[in-house]
């Protein structure tokens, strides 16, 4: 099984994952999560494109859309950080995957 996906682990509990619709198949993404992080992963999606709806294809997605050419509002950044902190505090194996469509601007 080839479950390679475009992911970079910043720490053992926070990773950046970009552009899997363009670069990786959804089955590879699902296989990666099932094999390595089953029931202990959440994707934080920062894409603002209306046609990019990963919630319909993957589970455990929290979306905070903002334009990739501009920083998000400070209150949005605080909400994201609080959400991630809360999620990571629930279980020592939980991992947060930061994601945007291209993997360049937002994540």
Task: Supply the pLDDT for residue 2.
Answer: 44
| Residue 99 predicted with pLDDT over 60 | yes
More confident residue, 52 or 17: 17
DSSP one-letter string for 38-100: TTSEEEEE----TT--GGGTSSSEEE----TTSPPPHHHHHHHHHHHHHHHHH-TT-EEEEEE
Give yes or no for a contact between 47 and 100, defined as CB atoms under 8 angstroms apart: yes
**Total-model pTM:** 0.82
- CA dist 96 and 40 (Å) reads 9
> What percent of the chain is predicted at pLDDT more than 70?
78
Kindly indicate the confidence band of residue 1, based on its pLDDT and cuts at 50, 70 and 90: very low
């Amino acid at each position: 099984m080839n479950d390679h996906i475009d992911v970079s682990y910043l720490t053992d509990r926070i990773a950046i994952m970009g552009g899997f619709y363009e670069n990786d198949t959804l089955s590879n993404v699902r296989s990666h999560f099932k094999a390595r992080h089953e029931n202990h992963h959440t994707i934080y999606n920062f894409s603002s494109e209306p046609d990019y709806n990963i919630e319909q294809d993957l589970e455990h997605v929290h979306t905070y859309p903002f334009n990739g050419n501009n920083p998000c509002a400070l209150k949005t950044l605080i909400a994201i950080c609080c959400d991630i902190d809360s999620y990571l505090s629930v279980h020592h194996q939980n991992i947060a995957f930061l994601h945007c469509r291209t993997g360049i601007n937002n994540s």
